[in-house]
Amino acid sequence: MSPFVASWGIIGCGWISSMFVKNLCVVRSDDTDVAHSIAAVGSRDKSKAEAFIRENCPNGGPAQSNGLVEANPVACGSYQDVYENAKVNIIYIGTLNNTHYTEAKAALEAGKNVLVEKPACLNVAEWDSLVSIAKQRGLFLMEGVWTRFLPLVYELQDQLFNKKVIGDIKNVTANFSMAFYNIVPDSHRNFALESAGGAMFDLGPYIVLCAILALYHNPANERSKPENVRGVMSKARTGVDLSTTILMDFPKLEANAVLTTSFAYCSPKDERCIITGTKGEIVLNDGLSRLTQMTIKQIDQEPAPRVLKWKENVVVSRPLPGFGLMFEADAVARSLRDGKLENPRMPHEESRMVLKIFDQVRKQNEYVLPDGIEKIKSQ
């Protein structure tokens, strides 16, 4: 049977869109049930879209080079032209944070399914509005947190919940930070208030994901939302958060999380996240967006307040083809093929939960965006 073809319309010709499209173009031996084509690429400047296609997908995606789809990608000088392109069945939004709501809404209103980059929107109210439009129109909507779909992440959850290699999970401590401050200009999207910059909006989705993967998804937690969410922000001179630490409690598990992100320095080397249980720990070794390796450290003695004996460390590696964004793209394609409006690995409710945490932490720390940046305000 020929594979289902996801025909992508790409919105914005920046860095992550180029990585996404390059990854759509990677031909793999295991991509037999779904295939990708790049139907249209949109930029505010048509010549930028043309250059983007030349550089990243001159022959389109595998579905085009294999002859499943005949047309080549078209360059569009407006995003709206992509939304209105009849060949497109899924829109990828790779534009700035402050535009996610507006662009996703325009795409949905034009009748298109949507994958929107993280953060899904700027607040819960914006996200609720998108979910409502998508449901009313019977369209697929998902926030792009590609990490969730990586092979190592499935392996991590198998080790934690099925093999229970570290016993009962009691703490998640994460730090995903990148040294952008004083290195890129203050006008960069990560520091401009107008682009809804700051470490929390940019890297926050990944640190909160650590708590979601190990605590929220823990079967013993029964999908209970985190409580006692507290955040501390240190501000950059532009007004966005330079460094943010978020604490949260999962009472059903008697467990908590301490999650940090910053643009002032690079994350601690080799130990971006430590998940600690009653029988050991799992350390996530690389950047929390692109996870490829973890180290399992198990206690080798009966329970006792002081641990003296450890088993030999076990390192688990799951290298990625390309950057690794194809796993998310495949998952989206399968959802479309199966007529789903959301993906069970990245459900609407979990995007909402993250945005609620961000709303709370922003309120606690008076991180206020300029008027008009949030199209709808959360209560």
Ligand X SMILES: NC(=O)C1=CN([C@@H]2O[C@H](COP(=O)(O)OP(=O)(O)OC[C@H]3O[C@@H](n4cnc5c(N)ncnc54)[C@H](OP(=O)(O)O)[C@@H]3O)[C@@H](O)[C@H]2O)C=CC1
Ligand Y SMILES: O=C1OC[C@@H](O)[C@H](O)[C@H]1O
Q: Which of positions 170-189 make contact with ligand X (CB under 6 A)? A: 189
Is 16 a residue that touches ligand X (CB under 6 A)? yes
Q: Site mask, ligand X, residues 79-98, x = CB under 6 A?
A: ---------------xxxx-
Q: Does 143 sit near ligand Y (CB under 6 A)?
A: no
Shorter beta-carbon distance to ligand X: residue 85 or 289: 289
Q: What is the Cα–Cα distance from 332 to 269, expressed in whole angstroms? A: 32
Q: Kindly tell me which residue out of 202, 328, 330, 374 binds ligand Y, with binding defined by CB under 6 A.
A: 202
Nearest to 33, CA basis, from 9, 63, 58: 63
The option from ligand Y, ligand X, none interacting with 146 (CB < 5 to 8 A, set by class) reads ligand X
Minimum distance, C-beta of residue 295 to ligand X, in the bound complex (Å): 23
- The answer to whether residue 43 forms part of the interface with ligand X (CB under 6 A) is yes
> Minimum distance from CB of 348 to ligand Y (Å)?
20
* 147: contact with ligand Y by CB under 6 A: no
Nearest-approach distance from CB 61 to ligand X, in angstroms: 18
Q: Least distance to ligand Y from the beta carbon of 178, Å?
A: 6
Q: Is 50 in the site for ligand Y (CB under 6 A)?
A: no
State which of positions 99-128 bind ligand X (CB under 6 A).
99, 117-118
Instruction: Assess contact for 316 and 152: CB atoms under 8 A.
Output: yes
CA 284, 286, 253: angle at the middle one, nearest 5? 25
Do residues 209 and 176 make contact, with C-beta atoms less than 8 angstroms apart?
no
- Crossing angle of helices 124-137 and 348-364, in 10° steps, is 160
* Of 45 and 254, CB closest to ligand X: 45
As measured in angstroms, the least distance from the Cβ of 86 to ligand X is 22
b/e for 75-102, b at 16 or more Cβ within 10 A?
bbeebebbbebeebbbbbbbbbbbbbbe
Select from 16, 52, 66 the least CA-distant residue to 329: 16
Contact 367, 240 (CB under 8 A): yes
Q: Which residues from 161-180 bind ligand Y, rule CB under 6 A?
A: 178
Q: Are 287 and 209 spatial neighbours (Cβ–Cβ below 8 Å)?
A: no
Number of H helices, E strands in the chain: 10, 14
Question: What distances in angstroms separate CA 370 from CA 141, 190, 240, 374, one per listed residue?
Answer: 27, 15, 11, 8
287 lies in the binding site for ligand X (CB under 6 A): no
- Residue of minimal CB distance from ligand X? 14
Q: Pick the stretch among 11-19, 69-77, 130-138, 179-187 that binds ligand X (CB under 6 A).
A: 11-19
Q: Kindly identify the residues of this chain, within the stretch 275-314, that bind ligand Y according to CB under 6 A.
A: 289
> Which run of H or E residues covers position 210?
helix 199-211
Question: Cβ(250)–Cβ(212) under 8 Å?
Answer: no
The CB-of-44 to ligand X minimum distance in angstroms stands at: 4
Binding mask 133-152 toward ligand X (x if CB under 6 A, else -) reads: -----------x-x------
Q: Which is nearer to ligand Y, 90 or 178 (CB)?
A: 178
Task: Give the distance between the most distant pair of CA atoms in the chain.
Answer: 66
What is the residue type of 158?
D
Strand 141-144: give its sheet, edge to edge: 74-76, 34-42, 4-11, 90-93, 113-117, 141-144
> How many chain residues interact with ligand Y (CB under 6 A)?
3
Q: How many residues bind ligand X (CB under 6 A)?
A: 21
What does the binding site for ligand Y look like in residue numbers (CB under 6 A)? 178, 202, 289
What does the binding site for ligand X look like in residue numbers (CB under 6 A)? 12-16, 43-45, 48, 94-97, 99, 117-118, 144, 146, 189, 202, 289
